[in-house]
Amino acid sequence: MKPNDDPKPHDASVGDRRDADVRDDLVAYLDGELDDAARARVEARLAIDPALADELAELRDTWDVLDLDEAPRTTDGFTERVLAETKRERERRWWVHRVAPVAAAAVLVLAVFATFRGGANDPARTPITETELAENLDLLEDLDLLEELGEDIEFLAWAEENEELPW
Amino acid sequence: MHPHDDEDVKLMLRVRDGDDDAFACLVERHRDRVLSVVYRYTRDRGEAEDLAQDVFLNIHRNRMSYRPEAKFTTWLFRIAANRGINAMRARAVRKRVEAPAPTRGDGEAVPLDEMPDPKPAEAREGLERRELAERVRAAVDALPETQKTAVLLNKYEGRSYEEIGQILDLSIPAVKSLLSRARMRIKERLSPHLQREGERVAR
């Protein structure tokens, strides 16, 4: 059999595509979206094809009936509500820009403080070696006193300023 | 038309520079058309008004990054359509959870055409008009998401194929084909009811 003996499938797809193109043009014609040449082509075909003319009328009627799907209008005060909300958003942003850096700094200070305090009592801490124990024996003897003093923020601040902290 | 010739673009540039009166003017100009778009996704007036408000707040929040590359309405409708689509998806999920659609024995959803008429005995004109309006809404709502958006923008907002293409990120031929398929679907769903209506009027 020669390759083109049975052109049906190929023709069918071309036919489908042609139908789709005609429909697309018909809809675009109704929407006023065709250029002059395409519009003239559609009108020429409509003049000789009553089925196509019926389809055009049906497409137009079903499109017109969509007007029954009405949408409501915005309620009174819509614009004022939008403007009031933009004002609230602006104020919120002002607070965020001013307060957030201060809050972040405070969190950082607290985190550093908690690390120093918590570290001494952390059981998960790496066990110290005998050598380390020997080297820091003086410090360990005063451990209770240092922990007590560590609870006093003013002392910590003073000690840090005067480089008196043992760690 | 150059974007800068667009009156809305001029207003938006003033909004970008901090002019609240210009923003109020933009909201006034477009509030109803934004509501019209989002309402047809949600079918709930209260929710639609909240969404419309959210569309304008979004524009106000992003005013500093506004660049007039296209018509202002292209940007506006893109935001409105996105909000509407998201709300429609959320609503569909809620609906599935709350009340499953009527199904046949095989579990397939019953098409609207096969559902019993709501009130066949009360064939008054007003009621029939309401029923037809209900069928129109159902036909629009049954469209696939992108087709529906194209129909809303074309039919109800009078947007050109070019602008719809910009809003949906599609070429003009793609919009043409999309709208053609949408209109064929609508025709298939509504034609039988229009014929019935025509026969009734003829009697």
First vs last Cα of chain B: how many Å apart? 51
- Same domain as B111, residue B96: no
Percent of residues, chain B, with pLDDT higher than 90: 67
Which of B21, B57, B180 would you mutate first to test chain A, the one with the most A CBs within 10 A? B180
Sign of the C-alpha dihedral, residues B126, B132, B133, B135? positive
Residue A53, C-beta contacts closer than 8 angstroms, at least 6 positions apart? A46
* Three-state DSSP state, B103: strand
8 Å CB contact between A28 and B180:
yes
Helix, strand, coil shares, percent, chain B, to 5? 75, 0, 25
Map tokens 């524009």 to a residue.
B59
What's the number of domains chain B is made of?
A: 2
Taking only the tens place, the pLDDT of each residue in A30-43 is: 999 999 999 999 99
Q: What separation in angstroms does the CA of B41 have from each of A27, A93, B184? A: 24, 31, 20
Domain boundary among B100, B118, B144: B100
8 Å CB contact between A23 and B184:
yes
- Same domain as B137, residue B89: no
Is residue A118 in some structural domain?
no
Is residue A96 in some structural domain?
no
- Same domain as B179, residue B111: yes
Report how far residue B137's alpha carbon sits from residue A48's, in angstroms, rounded to the nearest whole number: 35
Residues on chain B touching A65 (C-beta within 8 angstroms): 132, 136, 190, 194
- Same domain as B91, residue B41: yes
What's the number of domains chain A is made of?
A: 2
Domain, as residue range, for A37: 14-68
Is residue A94 in some structural domain?
no
Overall average pLDDT of the B105-124 stretch: 52
- Same domain as B124, residue B83: no
Smallest CA–CA distance from B28 into chain A, residue: A79
Domain boundary among A68, A93, A112: A68
- Confidence band, pLDDT 50/70/90 cuts, at residue B17: very high
Taking only the tens place, the pLDDT of each residue in A108-133 is: 888 887 777 665 555 555 555 656 65
8 Å CB contact between B85 and B149:
yes
The tokens for A67 are 């007007």
Report how far residue A132's alpha carbon sits from residue B74's, in angstroms, rounded to the nearest whole number: 71
CA nearest B39: which of B53, B25, B22, B59?
B53
* ipTM of the modeled complex: 0.80
Does B129 reach chain A within 8 Å, measured CB to CB? yes
Is residue A19 in some structural domain?
yes
- The number of helices, as runs of H, and strands, as runs of E, in chain B is 8, 0
- Same domain as B77, residue B134: no
Q: What is the CATH number for B185?
A: 1.10.10.10
Is residue A106 in some structural domain?
no
Q: What is the CATH number for B75?
A: 1.10.1740.10
For B128-176, the three-class secondary structure string (H helix, E strand, C coil) is HHHHHHHHHHHHHHCCCHHHHHHHHHHHHCCCCHHHHHHHHCCCHHHHH
Report how far residue B148's alpha carbon sits from residue B141's, in angstroms, rounded to the nearest whole number: 7
Domain, as residue range, for B43: 1-100
Domain boundary among B100, B135, B157: B100
- Confidence band, pLDDT 50/70/90 cuts, at residue A166: very low
- Same domain as B8, residue B93: yes
Is residue A8 in some structural domain?
no
Among the partner-chain residues B45, B154, B194, the one whose CB lies closest to the CB of A61 is B194
Give yes or no for residue B110 having a pLDDT over 80. no
β-bridge mates for residue B103, sequence order: B109
φ, ψ (nearest 5 deg) of residue B103 = -130, 155
What is the structure's pLDDT at A30? 96
What is the structure's pLDDT at A103? 77
Overall average pLDDT of the B18-25 stretch: 95
The tokens for B81 are 């359509």
Overall average pLDDT of the B134-145 stretch: 95
- Confidence band, pLDDT 50/70/90 cuts, at residue A9: very low
Report how far residue A132's alpha carbon sits from residue A113's, in angstroms, rounded to the nearest whole number: 24
- Confidence band, pLDDT 50/70/90 cuts, at residue A3: very low
Q: Do A79 and B40 touch (CB under 8 A)?
A: no
Q: What is the enclosing helix (H) or strand (E) of A52?
A: helix A50-64
Dihedral angle of Cα A16, A20, A23, A25, to the nearest 10 degrees = -130
Among the partner-chain residues A61, A71, A85, the one whose CB lies closest to the CB of B36 is A71
Is residue A57 in some structural domain?
yes
- Same domain as B61, residue B156: no
For B27-43, the three-class secondary structure string (H helix, E strand, C coil) is HHHHHHHHHHHHHHHHC
- Same domain as B93, residue B132: no
Burial of B7 (0-12, 13-18, 19+ CB in 10 A): exposed
Domain boundary among B100, B131, B164: B100
Residues on chain B touching A96 (C-beta within 8 angstroms): none
Is residue A2 in some structural domain?
no
Report how far residue B31's alpha carbon sits from residue A75's, in angstroms, rounded to the nearest whole number: 10
What is the structure's pLDDT at B70? 85
8 Å CB contact between B38 and B52:
yes
- Confidence band, pLDDT 50/70/90 cuts, at residue B101: low
Smallest CA–CA distance from A85 into chain B, residue: B57
Q: Do A63 and B155 touch (CB under 8 A)?
A: yes
